[in-house]
Structure 1
Amino acid sequence: QFLLELALRVASFAENPPSKVALTALLVARAILRRDCSPRWLCARIPHCRILLEDVKSSMCLLFCVFKRGSIFAPNVCKEYSKREHFCVAGLRFCGDGFLM
């Protein structure tokens, strides 16, 4: 539920049309929860949504930037959530692929 709320916050901060950003942010959140963190997998599985790889990368960056900011304002919640292995692995994968700014 925390990750879903985080994705919705990403949508509210984004400059792009909210519906497109909200969709990609929610898909990224779902991918993390399912432990499948590949942006190419998302784009390949959901072609009818017309999601571009660049949109997914942007949402990943936003998702983790908001999470990073959230750790300042709600440290206990973020600390607890960070203990979940798949979320940490997702962050490391994105860092390794150069998706984070």
Structure 2
Amino acid sequence: MTRLSIVLLAAVLVTAIYLVRVQYESRRLVTELDRATVLAHRLEVEKSSLEVEKQAQATSLRVEQIAQQRLGMRMPTPAITEYVTAKAPVATASQEAAR
């Protein structure tokens, strides 16, 4: 009877230690999941703010100002516009034979 009691006591102790370990691991994983969720939320907020900043930087007025100031570009006027006329394509003998 004593042997059976010792075996059962050992089984209860092993089970209790295993249960404590599993609970600890579970709590650790939940904490890690919470941290990852908070980080994901922060990254999403940062992404949104960067997209807003990107849209603000890409406005046509800002692009036009940078083109004028940094690149020395100017708006086209009829005085500086050159018009190119396209000549009619010359028909080759093979094209005329195909007609």
Instruction: Settle same-fold status: TM greater than 0.5.
Output: no
Tell me the TM-score normalised to structure 1 length: 0.24
Query: More helix per residue: 1 or 2?
Result: 1
Which structure's relative contact order is higher, taking Cα pairs within 8 Å and 6+ residues apart? 1
In our comparison, the structure showing a higher alpha carbon Rg is 2
Tell me the TM-score normalised to structure 2 length: 0.24
